[in-house]
Copies of this chain bind each other. A is one copy, B any other.
Amino acid sequence: MDKIIENLRNKPPLVHHITNYVTVNDCANVVLAAGGAPIMADDVKEVEEIVSISSVLYINIGTLNERTVESMVKAGKRANCLGLPVLLDPVGMGASRMRNDTVHRLMNEIYFTVIKGNMSEIKGLYKAERNTGGVDVKDEDIVGTENLAEAVEYVKKIAREFDSVVAVTGAIDIVTDGEQAVTVRNGHPNMSRVTGTGCMTGSVMATYVGSNPERPVDAVVAALVKMGLAGERAELEMKNKNEGISSYKRYLIDGIDLIGLEEMKEGGKIEYL
């Protein structure tokens, strides 16, 4: 954890996002709060140049369209050429054929350092299944203590097959490169009552991985701890003041700014399996 944060401070990353227009402002703000600098650019004519001045590329298909899919492919290929880490968030995977086809195309043409999503998205990616639950995890895909061991094995298999770090977010987050597996149990259910906490998690991951391209598992775990603690802190703040979910969101982003290394080391509920 120390090394991850030290690298972040020493070389703050420029994080190129090609992402959805719903949560993009929050993504930019969490990158800044986490210590990086965001740049959002999605025109096919400029993405290769933009990625070439960046430290890392984060592709999020939340509101994909035909125009930006081409940009994702171009930017991703260029990032691969340059040896930059690339993260994929297959938002809503399974909700339409277009999302499935896009993700499969992206995965064929681009090597992803990290793939993150909820269990339904990651399953959809692996099995090309239809997900009728929109962008949220389906009930049957929720990971709990009882099915954790099985879920970890499943995600490890996917990680090996894709040769990527796979991060499955949920009450228990699972991070694995196919060999090593780590769980993180921070966070609070209210995080799912704010739009874009998944995207923001992706942005924090990209920020951390951008400064730590050689340690993607540790960087992703640190990002999950940071987000989770921010979600826990926000709950206390909101409850203390009898406020609602918009205040929760504010405290969540404040937390990304305020929670320091010591707090992450003490509060992180990390388990190496």
Contact = CB atoms under 8 A, between A and B. Distances in A.
A40 B25 contact: no
Interface string A21-45: 1111110110011000111111101
Interface string A225-243: 0000000000000000001
Interface stretch (A49-57, A79-87, A112-120): A49-57
A247 interface: yes
A22 B24 contact: yes
What bracket does the count of chain A residues touching chain B fall in?
35 or more
B40 A20 contact: yes
Nearest to A69: B43
A243 B247 contact: no
Interface class of chain A by DSSP: mixed
Contact of A43 (B98, B134, B136, B195): B98
Interface stretch (A148-156, A171-179, A254-262): A254-262
A220 to B, nearest CB: 23
Contacts of A258: 243-244
Count copies of this chain in the complex: 3
A32 B193 contact: yes
A139 to B, nearest CB: 13
A135 interface: yes
B37 A136 contact: yes
A210 interface: no
Contact of A96 (B50, B65, B132, B243): B50
Given A40-B63, A45-B66, A63-B41, A53 B97 contact: no
A33 B196 CA distance: 14
A28 to B, nearest CB: 4
Nearest to A243: B254
Interface of A: 14, 20-26, 28-29, 32-33, 37-43, 45-46, 49-50, 53-54, 62-67, 92, 95-99, 132-136, 193-196, 243-247, 249-258
Given A20-B40, A246-B257, 6 more contacts: A14-B134, A22-B40, A43-B98, A50-B95, A243-B254, A250-B250
* The 4 A-B residue pairs with the shortest CB-CB distance in the complex, in nearest-first order: A244-B254, A246-B253, A244-B257, A28-B195
13 contacts: A32-B245, A43-B64, A45-B98, A46-B98, A49-B95, A49-B96, A49-B98, A53-B95, A53-B132, A53-B133, A65-B67, A246-B249, A246-B250
